[in-house]
Chains A and B, each alone.
Chain A
Amino acid sequence: MALQITAARPDPALLDLPWELPLETWPEEHLAALPRGISRHVVRFVKLSGRVLAVKEIKADIAVREYQMLRMLGRLDLPCVVPFGVVSGREATGGSPLDACLITRHLQFSLPYRALFSQSLRPDTSTRLIDALAVLLVRLHLIGFWWGDVSLSNTLFRRDAGAFAAYLVDAETGELHQSLTSGQRDHDLEIARVNIAGELMDLEAGGFLEAGVDPVDTSNRIVTRYAELWDELTGVQRFESGDRWRVDERIRRLNELGFDVDELAISTDIGGTTIQIQPKVVDAGHHSRRLLRLTGLDVEENQARRLLNDLDSYRAGSDRQNDDEEIVAHDWLAKIYEPITRTVPRDLAGKLEPAELFHEVLEHRWYLSERAGHDMPIEDAIRDYVSTVLPSKPDEATVVGVDTVEMPVVAMFDDTGDAPRPTPRR
């Protein structure tokens, strides 16, 4: 059978990869020198035309389905990895068929949860990761996507102004429905709870978990955080008709959570004495959309919030409240944001994303100002930050995992082959 490549924008260099070899045995020259995480399937990260791609070996029909699902989720503007293509019709040199490969782009500056735990981090890392996962799960469920395999391993995290933004990595078990039943949502949550507890217990067993963190308590947080957010985003609220300000308040509260209300159902009882409101369509990305509109910067939600705050103080500080917001934003971008983020020397650019760096510099300025007892200019803060803090940070542009045992379960009940193949270490 002939090799078949399905991709939106196929890269001819794809043909140079050794598709006739099982993924497990691909020579090192093709691989990005990056470690790997746990996966049910064999997964490798390859270098191709200057970028890093994740290649997963699975059956052709599943690969095609997942490719299409990821494209669909991307079109729906949900945070997930971007599919690159499917290679099927693979044959080994002897002519025996090989499984297909699903290729996704590596998400820059994203971190697998294991990598986060292998660094020394702030104490509440696990809760912040779970909060991010809860937001992702709510967003997916609002669209009607049932994940089926919610876990920290199937999620990538990007730093987001001190918090995290979660991205879906594995859509193999996922299904897109018109809307989800509460049973489907419950089931996803239960899967999440059990998987997170297992993953944290595993970190604990490996000595990677922060002291004092209880895996079971922490995993329960996904349920409570999810429920809070879901209720806030979809709950019905009733009040007296005199309390109309509550409509505005509800919308503001949702904005505060990072959501825009596209459709709000308002109804009154027959006598008109009580009003009932329920958000029908909500859209994540309230702050990041506003920032994108004002400056063209495409960043995570909390980063956007942070940047917008700085933009607001710039506007107040330069006494331009009466100027057009777009014009002030343009000036802020040219005079503050870009000069600051460009100060970073090239060799340190792989440490943090520009928007995250900007957030860190703002934090750093606050510390410096507190220590000095007066306001420090941001130019001083960035200089100090680049010389004292940034060099000691790990490179995070292309982290794909930590060096841990990889465990593809490819065979079931095959009592013949007993000794597992040793995991190649590089």
Chain B
Amino acid sequence: MATVKFDEATRLYPGNDKPSVDKLNIDIEDGEFLVLVGPSGCGKSTSLRMLAGLEEVNAGKIWIGDRDVTNLSPKDRDVAMVFQNYALYPHMTVADNMGFALKIAGVDKGEIRKRVEEAAKILDLSAYLERKPKALSGGQRQRVAMGRAIVRSPQVFLMDEPLSNLDAKLRVQTRTQIASLQRRLGVTTVYVTHDQVEAMTMGDRVAVLKDGILQQCDSPRHMYDHPNNVFVAGFIGSPAMNLLEVESTDGGVIVGDSTVAIERDRLAGASGKGLTLGVRPEDLELRTDGHGIAVTVDVVEELGADAYIYGSTKAAQHVDEDDSDAPEKPFIARVDGRNPPAKGETVYLAPKVGHVHLFDAQSGLRLGD
């Protein structure tokens, strides 16, 4: 059991002039499940590896509990990289497969047995301890491999994209299993993924990184409702938030041919007239009066109760400066599944009152709470 602290932790690769992880500060609580997420090259894996001891920390410190581990060798950190090597040995029993690493570490037999039995109980493997792995199902074998990490009772579990080689259906199943297992064990866990859905469904808290810089570290709910900046707003949520470049006017912003009312003190924080307005697809309403954002429907995705429409609009869409040659993103709205508009139709949409996100177009930072 331990807390983990990244304290201004920085990794600068030799020959680079920009750090791959830049002054990272995160305090992870004892027993917490923290997910590091971001697009490729954002520094999430590097951060995890700095904690594991695989990457040097060029500045700042990393703490596990009250130990400064910044310069410790990986094996002295009491962390376990889970799912990395899960070979099972066919001639050894399930119990031996789970406990052999303890034998290498010189733990005495009675203690090994005790820890193996405890882990087996948590993993529902008690009945299989004396069997050989070939008598187990795929899922049970995987749990044996997990047991190998659990019996070591490390202070922190580290997982680097453990589901990346599974197909979509298994990923969903497995991520729930890992999350519930982690909660039962109560071991502090740091988990890396590029998939924001995985991050949101698994983490107690989610840390979003971009270009080596922490953008936001928050609970999934709070991050969804209060993204700190345009990047987090566009990255978190599926389908993604609609982001429009708008101008402020007296008491609101101009969207399409109408004005969306915004509290004056929220607008007061802006550095200029240019703003980015964010609306999640579920926060849009169809208007029948022909006003609002005109959207031509390209695709209708019917999900039963709801439908999503994907369309194009003349309103100026926000473009990520790093991604400027990406194809134009569709404008997305959730509508009533029983009565969706037809493909090719032009609909008028307006944000629901009180459900818009506002960002300064220059700094990208959130305006208001």
Residues on A facing B (Cβ under 8 Å): 38, 40, 58-59, 62, 146, 148-149, 151, 153, 173, 178-179, 181-184, 186-187, 190-191, 193-195, 197-199, 201-203, 205-206, 216, 219, 404-405, 407, 409-420, 423
Contacts and interface: CB of A to CB of B under 8 A. Distances in A.
Interface residues of B, number: 46
A411 B170 contact: yes
Interface string B53-83: 1111000000000000000011100000000
A187 B134 contact: no
Contact of B141 (A182, A198, A201, A409): A409
Given A405-B134, A411-B138, 19 more contacts: A40-B87, A181-B54, A181-B56, A183-B54, A183-B56, A183-B73, A183-B74, A187-B52, A191-B84, A194-B85, A198-B89, A219-B104, A405-B132, A407-B90, A409-B138, A413-B173, A414-B173, A417-B137, A417-B138
Given A187-B54, A191-B85, A216 B73 contact: no
B249 interface: no
A219 B106 CA distance: 13
A411 B139 contact: yes
B87 A153 contact: yes
B137 A414 contact: yes
Contacts of A58: 165
A283 B15 CA distance: 24
Contacts of B354: none
A62 B91 contact: no
B271 interface: no
Given A184-B54, A409-B138, A419-B137, A201 B13 contact: no
Interface in B86-118: 86-92, 96, 100-101, 103-104
Contacts of B75: 186-187, 190
Contacts of A149: 84-85
A226 to B, nearest CB: 14
B9 to A, nearest CB: 14
A16 B241 CA distance: 48
B136 interface: yes
Contact of A412 (B15, B101, B174): B174
Given A195-B87, A404-B90, A420 B136 contact: yes
A43 to B, nearest CB: 13
B44 interface: no
A187 B51 CA distance: 13
B143 interface: yes
Nearest to A97: B167
Nearest to A204: B91
Interface of B: 13-15, 52-56, 73-75, 84-92, 96, 100-101, 103-104, 132-143, 145, 163-166, 170, 173-174, 177
Contact of A420 (B13, B92, B135, B165): B135
17 contacts: A40-B87, A178-B13, A179-B14, A183-B52, A187-B52, A193-B104, A195-B87, A197-B103, A198-B101, A202-B90, A206-B90, A409-B142, A412-B166, A412-B177, A413-B143, A417-B137, A420-B134
A182 to B, nearest CB: 7
- In order of increasing CB-CB distance, the 3 nearest A-B pairs are A411-B138, A202-B89, A206-B91
Given A178-B13, A412-B139, A423-B134, A194 B165 contact: no
Contacts of B96: 201, 205
Contacts of A148: 84-85
A154 to B, nearest CB: 9
Contacts of B14: 178-179
Contacts of B104: 193-194, 197, 216, 219
A414 B167 CA distance: 12
A309 B36 CA distance: 58
A197 B104 CA distance: 7
A191 B177 CA distance: 26
A374 to B, nearest CB: 49
B125 to A, nearest CB: 12
Given A194-B104, A205-B96, A413 B74 contact: no
A161 B84 CA distance: 35
B139 A407 contact: no
Given A178-B15, A412-B174, A183 B53 contact: yes
Contacts of A187: 52-54, 74-75
A413 B100 contact: no
Contacts of A412: 138-139, 142, 163, 166, 170, 173-174, 177
Contacts of B177: 412-413
B144 to A, nearest CB: 9
Nearest to B136: A420
B87 A198 contact: yes
A199 B73 contact: no
B89 A420 contact: no
Contacts of A191: 84-85
